[in-house]
Amino acid sequence: MRTLVTGGAGFLGSHLCDRLILEGHEVICMDNLITGDTDNIAHLMGNPKFKFIKYDVTEYIFIDGPIDNILHFASPASPIDYLELPIQTLKVGSLGTHKALGLAKAKKARFLLASTSEVYGDPLIHPQPEEYYGNVNPIGPRGVYDEAKRFAEALTMAYHRYHGVDTRIVRIFNTYGPRMRLNDGRVVPAFLPQSLKGEDLTVFGDGSQTRSFCYVSDLIDGIYRLLFSSECEPVNIGNPREMTILEFARTINEIAGGNGKIIFKPLPQDDPKVRQPDISKAKLLLGWSPRVSLDEGIRQTMAYFKKKLDIK
């Protein structure tokens, strides 16, 4: 199979390229490198099954020859990124999704959209099933990402219903692992370097807000299964083990051997108070559930960050 991954030089996109090549796909990786990094795909350069194209997917996309699958992962995805790049985030969710869907229609390719648990906003239902419509502030600072993804989902389903495009939508919950950027702004790349360097850990709010953390290999396995399923409507992929941010900070310090204190800063606007996926649908339709424990996943991620920080 010949598969295009937009945002393929990013954290998740690069791991997806690895899995696709492992499964025998010829992979075209497209990324404008605003938040992606060629270091993430350096090990694939020179592989005859891999091709990298530096390109902005909000422009018209031309790929010569057949395409069997398009996985649209292009987007800033961390609060730091989409708060600094609000217009680009909205454009890639709208124009980028439109261009990628147009290519899928022209090539008669299967299309998979990387959506997010952020479509649920600050949820009033817990845990969050796919049937929940969400509680999102469209004009708040986080709205640029939340609404871009909500629009992308609507556009994907419109192409499915009106044009008959074979579509999939994955709603990704908090994921961590090697290749996350040190300045990503999300909780794992914030806490781990602080702990490894013996610094204080910064917790926003009082730390009572909850998150669930899925290791990257588990997520990629769920996405791959979804791609080759027959489910066209959204599917949650994430780890349902829920913990408070304060509990998570203490766990990081314990695993990484950090001795810094936990300090508290004001909670950002519209920060979700709870986040936990209902993965009943993924279990039933995909036979998928996460396998990697938090302890094992954090240790794998810590090894990567130690190398990046040059810590022995």
Contact 17, 29 (CB under 8 A): yes
Token pair recorded at residue 47: 């592989």
Token pair recorded at residue 261: 């204190």
Residues with Cβ within 8 Å of 176's Cβ and at least 6 positions away in sequence, in order, are: 186, 188, 189, 213, 214, 215, 216, 297, 298, 301
Check if 145 is active-site.
yes
- Asked whether the bond before 127 is cis by omega within 30 degrees of 0, the reply is yes
Question: How far is the C-alpha of 290 from the C-alpha of 214, rounded, in Å?
Answer: 7
Residues with Cβ within 8 Å of 170's Cβ and at least 6 positions away in sequence, in order, are: 112, 113, 114, 115, 222, 223, 226, 234, 235, 237
Residues with Cβ within 8 Å of 181's Cβ and at least 6 positions away in sequence, in order, are: 11, 35, 37, 78, 189
How distant, in Å, are the alpha carbons of 52, 109, 119 from that of 278?
35, 29, 14
Q: Is the dihedral of CA 87, 88, 94, 98 positive or negative?
A: positive
Angle between helices 143-163 and 97-107 (to 10 degrees): 20
**The one catalytic residue among 82, 120, 132, 145:** 145
| 3-state secondary structure at position 205 | coil
Question: How far is the C-alpha of 159 from the C-alpha of 178, rounded, in Å?
Answer: 34
Active site residues: 145
